[in-house]
Amino acid sequence: MAHALYSSQSAAHARFLLLMKPATLRSHAVRLSLQLGAALWLGACSALPAVQVTPPASGTPPAPAVPSRTFDNGHRTQGAFLTAFDSSGGLAWLGQPISQPIIDHDLGWVLQVFEFGVLAQDPSDERVFPLRANVTLGRQTAPAAPSLESGCTFFAETGHNLCHGLRLFWETSDRARLGLPISEEWVETDGGLTQDFEFARLHAVGGQVARQPIGSSFFATRGYDAALLEPPVAFTPTSPPRATASLVPLRTVAATAPATASTPSPLPAGLPGATPTALVFSNGLAVGGEFLIAYRAAGGEVWLGSPLSAAFVDQDLGLTLQVFEFGALAMEPEGDHAFLASITTLMGRQQPPVPTVSDPSCDYFEETGHNVCYQFRTTYRELGRLRMGFPLTEVETDARGVLGQDFEYARLEWLNGKVHRAPIGRDFLRTRSTGSFPGS
């Protein structure tokens, strides 16, 4: 099937497509014995004593390989944890792992911490499950009285109310993965509302609601060895290290956030939706106002990465833009909110529609007339259509010899035997400006 679809491409490209067909994983590979499973986990934790595994006797078939996945930050998830990761929403829901596997003797479980949650394994049956991280951290507060407001729902199971925008987000999201509310909402310093749930913390500001990453606070509160935050193996990152960020008053930002475009129009005074705070990164650039709200709602640093520019007015497009490593945010001149921009469309990468491919390993999208196949389809499904958008091209080889496919809000590329999101913000910025920017 793949040969018929891509016969016009190079032989190297055809060989790649054959390699992309997903291999069938052996179902019993995720149900190893407790002894072997413990040895594998302990072997992955450099901070724990090494475990000696007796090699199989002569003539005995070797143990099946444990399926694993190494992420861009160098951390690895494997075995039953990888199976649970995929079934729990994968990268789109849990984010990347931020720790090696951890043996928590107080809880009696093996844990792995991710950006937005925690997976736990019960050694008694090897079952891996999402941990009620906020409950474990003691964030559940005393029950409250049912609210009399019409926009609120009271949950007798936990004794808490869920109201208005937070309730709407909960009702239209994966409620089972968020869990029930375990606190009442409270007001943060940025004027937004925050509320804890069994598996997540939600923050609402300016009409936008987003999950906050709770993995790092879980790791710190539990007091684990900081060495477990280091990747267990050497790796080559697919993008430059991200700048760190801190929340500071907006008035300190003006002198440290240079505009990036060579001839941008200055932002008008009193930008609609401006807030008194901004997220300032170590490269001197800041995300503030409606752009900060949209940045958080879009997944923040996990999804968009660090800013490559300050907000600037693009006269040709008639938009106010701010460009990030993996995408861009835009705002209409008279608009009251920022939104995720389809930068691949703005760069003119959309191609004419093609016929559907008769291959069960491909999905066809009539909305744009393009196919997504094999490993690209696997990664696309994992990351989610809402954040990726529809495909704008077929898989093709670029000038560097790299196979890639463009989507409305992102680009996927085949590198080092895996499909990754490509940091396309720099390419987009170069098409909008002839000036320099940090890191260029």
Query: Which of 109-123, 227-241, 362-376 shows the lowest per-residue confidence on average (mean pLDDT)?
Result: 227-241
Q: Is the pLDDT of residue 120 over 90?
A: yes
Q: Is residue 60 part of a domain?
A: no
In a domain, 334, yes or no: yes
Altogether, the residues listed in the chain come to a count of: 440
Q: Are residues 257 and 300 both part of a single domain?
A: yes
Structure tokens of 165? 């925008």
The arithmetic mean of pLDDT across residues 405-414, rounded, is 94
What confidence category does residue 10 fall into, taking pLDDT thresholds of 50, 70 and 90? Answer: very low
Has residue 320 been placed in a domain?
yes
In a domain, 65, yes or no: no
The strand pair at 286-288 and 277-281 is best described as: antiparallel
Tell whether the model's pLDDT for residue 207 goes beyond 80. Answer: no
Give mean pLDDT, residues 177-197. Answer: 90
Residue 408 in any domain: the answer is yes
| Section 25-53 average pLDDT | 40
Same domain, 329 and 391: no
Q: Are residues 375 and 291 in the same domain?
A: no
Does 309 lie in the same domain as 264? yes
Do 385 and 326 lie in one domain? The reply is no
Give the pLDDT of residue 132.
92
Q: 286, 308, 341 — which closes off a domain?
A: 341
**How many domains does the structure of the chain reveal?**
2
Q: Are residues 406 and 373 part of one domain?
A: yes
Higher pLDDT, 233 or 253: 233
Range of lowest pLDDT (148-152, 194-198, 370-374, 385-389):
385-389
- The reply to whether 337 and 393 lie within a common domain is no
Q: Let me know if residue 400 belongs to a domain.
A: yes
Which residue range(s) make up the domain with 397?
Answer: 362-426
Say whether both 368 and 398 belong to one domain: yes
Instruction: Tell me whether residue 267 is in a domain.
Output: yes
Tokens of 112: 């792995």
Least confidently predicted of 56-60, 214-218, 275-279: 56-60
d(CA 158, CA 197): 10
| Domain end point (choices 306, 341, 376) | 341
**Residue 119 forms beta bridges with which residues?**
112, 130
Asked, for residue 261, whether it belongs to a domain, the answer is: yes
How high is the pLDDT of residue 182? Answer: 94
Is pLDDT of 246 > 70?
no
pTM over 0.75: no
List, for residues 59-86, the tens digit of each pLDDT value. Answer: 556 656 778 898 888 899 999 999 999 9
Asked whether the beta carbons of 236 and 220 are under 8 A apart, the reply is no
Asked whether residue 397 falls in the same domain as residue 309, the answer is no
pLDDT of 57 strictly over 50: yes
Q: Average pLDDT of the chain?
A: 76
Which stretch of 103-107, 196-200, 356-360 has the lowest confidence by average pLDDT? Answer: 103-107
In this structure, the answer to whether residues 249 and 337 fall within a common structural domain is yes
| Range of lowest pLDDT (49-58, 285-294, 329-338, 355-364) | 49-58
Number of Cα atoms under 13 Å in the Cβ half of residue 114: 28
Residues 337 and 371 occupy one common structural domain:
no
Written as one string, the DSSP assignment of 373-428 is: EHHHHHHHHHH-HHHH-SB-S--EE-TTS-EEEEBSS-EEEEETTEEEE---HHHH
pLDDT digits 0-9 by tens, 146-177 = 999 888 999 999 999 999 889 988 988 888 89
Boundary-marking domain end, from 341, 374, 392:
341
CA distance 119 to 402: 34
**Residue 323 region by backbone torsions, left for phi larger than 0, else alpha for psi between -120 and 50, else beta:** beta
The pLDDT of residue 233: 56
* Same domain membership, residue 390 and residue 304: no
Please count the other Cβ atoms lying within 10 Å of the Cβ belonging to residue 273: 19
pLDDT digits (tens, 9 = 90+) for 263-303: 333 334 443 333 346 788 878 888 888 888 888 878 788 88
**Where is 69: in which H helix or E strand?**
strand 68-70
334 has pLDDT over 60:
yes
